[in-house]
Amino acid sequence: MKKTTYTPHKRSFQAKKLTAFALFLSAMLTLSACSSASTYATSSSASTSTTSAVVSSEPIELSGVTAASLSTLDDEDRLTEAGENATTITLNGTTASVKGTGAAASNGSVTISAAGTYVISGTLSDGQIIVNTTDAESVHLILSGVNLTDLDNAPIYIQSAEKVILTLAEGTDNVVTDGDKYTLNTDEEPSAAIFSKANLTINGTGNLTVTANYNDGITSKDDLNIVSGNINIQAADDGLVGKDHVYIENGTIHIDAVGDGIKSTNDEDSEKGWIAIQNGVFDITAGRDGIQSETQLVIDDGDFQIVTGTGHENGPQHTEENGGGFPGGAPRDRNEGGTPPDMDNPDFEQMAPQDGSQPAPPEFDAAMDEANASETSTDTTATETESESMKGIKAGVMLSINGGAFQIDSADDALHSNGAVEITGGDLHLSTGDDAIHGETNLIIADGTIDIPVSYEGLEAQQITIDGGDVQVVASDDGVNASEASNSDSATTTASAPGMSAGQAQLTINGGTLTVDSQGDGLDSNGSIVMTGGTVTVAGPTNDGNGALDYDGTFEITGGTLIATGSAGMAQAPSDDSAQRSIAMTFPEAQAAGTAVVLKNNAGQSIATVTPSKEFRSVVISSADLQSGGTYALSANEADVVTFTLADAQTTWLNESGITTGNTQGIMGGRGRRQ
């Protein structure tokens, strides 16, 4: 769907941090020129603010909405038989004949002016079926072997009616074709080969082929309901359009559209503009969105093959892919599983104390404020640009997937909601040039199988909750990204820079299986991470600018099994106030892909085993089997690396020499941020 939208000029967070760092250095040089004693290391007036995050323990409830709950059809919507009093319309090339009442043929077209049932057959080379009635009852059109063409208007044009039921008669082929230029009325209508100003229902078991050379295939300016039928649409713009709603109960639908495949368009009434699909078979190729609603979009079941924007290889260009940090990322307390600064890096000498526990100097905070202000100023000068969305399935408010089989290959997000996304079942295979599943506010996965072989980022929302299911993510950037919503009015920041607070974002894992293979951060939260159950395996980045685990607040783990491997430069582990114990091992040098790492207890029993598919230097393991006072051995390719005994700390940092006070191999860097 082509829209005119406000698109701010985006500066990369990396660029903003570099700007702040440059401003900071400039300020420090100025201060040094004025007073050589005014250094951060000896300052007694430094800010004492600390990084904080909002950790929510309140469960996020599922809406429970289903497609069946959104729509109630009348008995007549399923009526397919003609009955005894039907009027017969026979098309004869350039003319038509009518047998019965309520319709009249003139100049090669037929106008229906009364409620009733009309059985239509034959061929019309350049004419229309027009419905124009003010009767309170419905009009029932039965297509029984129709080949209908109009070269400059809609071949089926419903100008006025209470409701129209269009039946595809059993065993018949019906073809509707228009020209590439229309004669429009003052309302710029009609806009589709089958165009209805009234509620339109399609049923039956016959075949309907619509070739829309001018614009849309089938459009209703009110409700569009599809009960059944075999429908094939080729459209110069959109395939199926219902203004107030689109409800599909069943059927086989093939759409090849230059624009959107299926969409609803009412953006003025919050109770309308929805799409609900109970079942059916869908093969959709769309230049823009595959299925798009203005409000709710609910799918209970069905078989979906969707390609948008020619597929994931045509996705947007990402300028910050796998972006590293810069000197001056937020210092973290080792006891919070964080990364202390690398004091061998001279850029840190005047920016943070050696224990990494103090805030940055006020001058740096001021520099960051100035950088933020600069970004805000730049954003406000942005102009309106025209953008095209190429998402697989997109909702304006809520996207609910309750079941079904999905094969989606999209240039843009595969599943997207401007509000929340709920997945309670289904078998989803998602390849995308951007996010595989994106919810602006919430993303809840309660059940289902989700396979993401190609994505920029796998899962993204402000609040991500995984309660069940089997999720596998491959991402060229972050695998799972809990980041601030772009429409959030929260005063907290999304960035982890000195003196700045963690945001409202949170990743919560209560169950299920999550496997992540990422080139950027594996699990990334601009706020906090909470894990109470489930099994999580992360094969994180090989570059030191990202980490297998990346959080700005805390990572509280009380249950489940976590194994995360990746680079060491930004390595983090669960917070030390977690109820469940964790170990974090940093190897002195990179371990080759395929190196088997095994953690065993003193009895030789395996606690955890992982064989990363790519190079790694850090391993984080959290398990209920890790107990205080227990002695454990960690090996790599059957060679013992370190043996240790757990003491009081909930998170134990290790290297080849034994227990350490933190990740002493680390370097500082920027944290992930939604761009």
- DSSP assignments along 215-233, one per residue: SEEEEESSEEEE-S-EEEE
More confident residue, 503 or 310: 310
For residue 444, count other CB atoms closer than 10 A to its CB: 23
287 and 392 fall within a common domain: no
What CA–CA distance (Å, rounded) separates 561 from 407?
Answer: 30
Q: What are phi and psi of 298, to 5 degrees?
A: -125, 130
More confident residue, 326 or 204: 204
Strand partners for 438: 416, 460
570 neighbors 339 (Cβ within 8 angstroms): yes
Q: Provide the domain count of the chain.
A: 2
262 has pLDDT over 50:
yes
What CA–CA distance (Å, rounded) separates 35 from 71?
Answer: 74
pLDDT band, residue 495 (cuts 50/70/90): very low
pLDDT band, residue 61 (cuts 50/70/90): confident
Strands 506-509 and 463-466 come out as: parallel
100 and 216 fall within a common domain: yes
What CA–CA distance (Å, rounded) separates 500 from 497?
Answer: 6
What CA–CA distance (Å, rounded) separates 144 from 204?
Answer: 11
pLDDT band, residue 593 (cuts 50/70/90): very high
- Bond preceding residue 190 cis, omega within 30 of 0: yes
Mean pLDDT for 612-623 is 97
177 has pLDDT over 50:
yes
What CA–CA distance (Å, rounded) separates 595 from 412?
Answer: 35
123 and 233 fall within a common domain: yes
What is the identity of the amino acid at 177? Answer: T
Greatest mean pLDDT among 335-349, 492-506, 616-630: 616-630
Does residue 7 fall inside a structural domain?
no
What CA–CA distance (Å, rounded) separates 481 from 549?
Answer: 11
Q: What is the largest CA-CA distance in the chain?
A: 104
Mean pLDDT for 176-205 is 95
Predicted confidence (pLDDT) per residue in 8-33, tens digit? 333 333 333 343 434 333 333 333 33
What CA–CA distance (Å, rounded) separates 166 from 200?
Answer: 7
Among residues 274, 293, 312, the one where a domain terminates is: 293
Mean pLDDT for 271-294 is 98
CA dihedral in degrees (85, 86, 91, 96; nearest 10)? 50
User: The tokens 């910050």 sit on which residue?
Assistant: 320
288 and 393 fall within a common domain: no
Strands 658-660 and 173-178 come out as: unpaired
143 has pLDDT over 90:
yes
Least reliable range by pLDDT among 318-322, 473-477, 516-520, 608-612: 318-322
Does residue 20 fall inside a structural domain?
no
What is the identity of the amino acid at 352? Answer: A
Predicted confidence (pLDDT) per residue in 216-261, tens digit? 999 999 999 999 999 999 999 999 999 999 999 999 999 999 999 9
394 and 267 fall within a common domain: no
| % of residues, the chain, pLDDT over 90 | 72
For residue 592, count other CB atoms closer than 10 A to its CB: 11
What CA–CA distance (Å, rounded) separates 574 from 530?
Answer: 9
Query: In 512-558, which ranges are continuous DSSP H helix?
Result: none
3-state helix/strand/coil string of 610-668 = ECCCCCEEEEEEECCCCCCCCEEEEEECCEEEEEEECCCCCEEEEECCEEECCCCCCCC
Residues 6+ apart with CB under 8 A from 491: none
Does residue 38 fall inside a structural domain?
no
Does residue 75 fall inside a structural domain?
yes
The whole domain housing 104 covers 70-293
pLDDT score recorded for residue 387: 60
3-state helix/strand/coil string of 288-340 = CCCEEECCEEEECCCEEEEEECCCHHHCCCCCCCCCCCCCCCCCCCHHHCCCC
392 and 287 fall within a common domain: no
What CA–CA distance (Å, rounded) separates 573 from 529?
Answer: 11
56 has pLDDT over 80:
no
pLDDT score recorded for residue 503: 73
pLDDT score recorded for residue 283: 98
Strand partners for 240: 218, 262
3-state helix, strand, coil in the chain (%, to 5): 10, 40, 50
pLDDT band, residue 54 (cuts 50/70/90): low
What CA–CA distance (Å, rounded) separates 276 from 245?
Answer: 8
More confident residue, 431 or 324: 431
Checking phi first, is residue 418 left (phi over 0); if not, alpha (psi -120 to 50) or beta?
alpha
pLDDT score recorded for residue 385: 35
Residues 6+ apart with CB under 8 A from 7: 382, 384, 385, 387
Q: What are phi and psi of 76, to 5 degrees?
A: -70, -20
pTM of the model: 0.82
344 has pLDDT over 90:
no
Strands 116-124 and 156-160 come out as: unpaired
140 and 247 fall within a common domain: yes
135 has pLDDT over 80:
yes
Least reliable range by pLDDT among 87-91, 381-385, 593-597: 381-385
Residues 6+ apart with CB under 8 A from 111: 103, 104, 130, 131, 132
Does residue 84 fall inside a structural domain?
yes
Checking phi first, is residue 145 left (phi over 0); if not, alpha (psi -120 to 50) or beta?
left
Least reliable range by pLDDT among 145-149, 370-374, 481-485: 370-374
The mean pLDDT of the chain is: 83
For residue 427, count other CB atoms closer than 10 A to its CB: 15
Mean pLDDT for 584-592 is 96
Stretch (H or E) spanning 104 = strand 103-106
Strand partners for 428: 406, 450
What CA–CA distance (Å, rounded) separates 248 from 224?
Answer: 8
For residue 97, count other CB atoms closer than 10 A to its CB: 12
410 and 536 fall within a common domain: yes
Does residue 54 fall inside a structural domain?
no
More confident residue, 72 or 422: 422
591 neighbors 617 (Cβ within 8 angstroms): yes
The candidate with the shortest Cα–Cα distance to 439, out of 483, 471, 489, 405, is 483
Does residue 347 fall inside a structural domain?
no
Among residues 258, 293, 328, the one where a domain terminates is: 293
Does residue 64 fall inside a structural domain?
no
What CA–CA distance (Å, rounded) separates 445 from 452?
Answer: 14
Checking phi first, is residue 20 left (phi over 0); if not, alpha (psi -120 to 50) or beta?
alpha
pLDDT score recorded for residue 35: 33
pLDDT score recorded for residue 504: 87
pLDDT score recorded for residue 26: 39
276 has pLDDT over 90:
yes
pLDDT band, residue 353 (cuts 50/70/90): very low
Cα 654 to the center of its chain, rounded Å: 37
284 neighbors 307 (Cβ within 8 angstroms): yes
| % of residues, the chain, pLDDT over 70 | 77
Among residues 235, 266, 293, the one where a domain terminates is: 293
pLDDT score recorded for residue 381: 33
Q: How far apart are the first and last CA of the chain?
A: 22
pLDDT score recorded for residue 663: 62
286 and 392 fall within a common domain: no
